[in-house]
A and B are shown apart, each in its own frame.
Chain A
Amino acid sequence: DVKVTQSSRYLVKRTGEKVFLECVQDMDHENMFWYRQDPGLGLRLIYFSYDVKMKEKGDIPEGYSVSREKKERFSLILESASTNQTSMYLCASRITGTGVGYTFGSGTRLTVV
Chain B
Amino acid sequence: GEDVEQSLFLSVREGDSSVINCTYTDSSSTYLYWYKQEPGAGLQLLTYIFSNMDMKQDQRLTVLLNKKDKHLSLRIADTQTGDSAIYFCAESMGTGRRALTFGSGTRLQVQP
**How far in angstroms is the closest Cβ of chain B from A71?**
15
CB neighbours of A74 from chain B (8 A): none
Near B by CB (< 8 A), chain A positions 30-69 give 31, 33, 35, 40-45, 48, 50, 56, 58-59
The residue among B4, B43, B94 with the most chain A CB atoms within 10 A of its own CB is B43
Given A40-B8, A40-B104, A107-B42, do A48 and B97 touch, yes or no (CB 8 Å)? yes
With known contacts A104-B42, A106-B42, A99–B103 Cβ distance under 8 A:
no
Q: A42 is contacted by which of B48, B50, B105 (Cβ under 8 Å)? A: B105
A contact residues, range: 20 to 34
Distance, CA A100 to CA B97, complexed state (A): 12
A49 and chain B: residue at smallest CB distance = B97
Find A100's partner among B42, B48, B99 (CB 8 Å cutoff). B48
Chain A stretch 82-96: residues in CB contact (< 8 A) with chain B: 90, 92, 96
**Total A-B contacts with CB atoms under 8 angstroms apart:** 61
Which residues on A sit within 8 Å (CB–CB) of B6?
A: 42
Within the assembled complex, what's the spacing in Å between the Cα atoms of A59 and B30? 20
Give the most central of B42, B94, B95: most A CB within 10 Å.
B42
- A100-B92 Cα distance, complex, nearest whole Å: 9
A50 contacts B105, C-beta separation under 8 Å: no
Cβ contact within 8 Å between A102 and B100:
yes
Contact partner of B41 (CB less than 8 A), chosen from A45, A58, A98, A106, is A106
User: Would B92 and A99 count as touching, CB distance under 8 A?
Assistant: yes
Q: Can you report 9 residue pairs joining A to B where beta carbons are below 8 Å apart?
A: A33-B99, A33-B100, A42-B105, A43-B90, A44-B102, A45-B101, A50-B97, A99-B50, A100-B31
Which A residues lie at the B interface, using CB under 8 A?
4, 31, 33, 35, 40-45, 48, 50, 56, 58-59, 90, 92, 96-100, 102, 104-107
The 3 A-B pairs at the shortest CB distance, nearest first, are namely: A42-B104, A43-B102, A104-B42
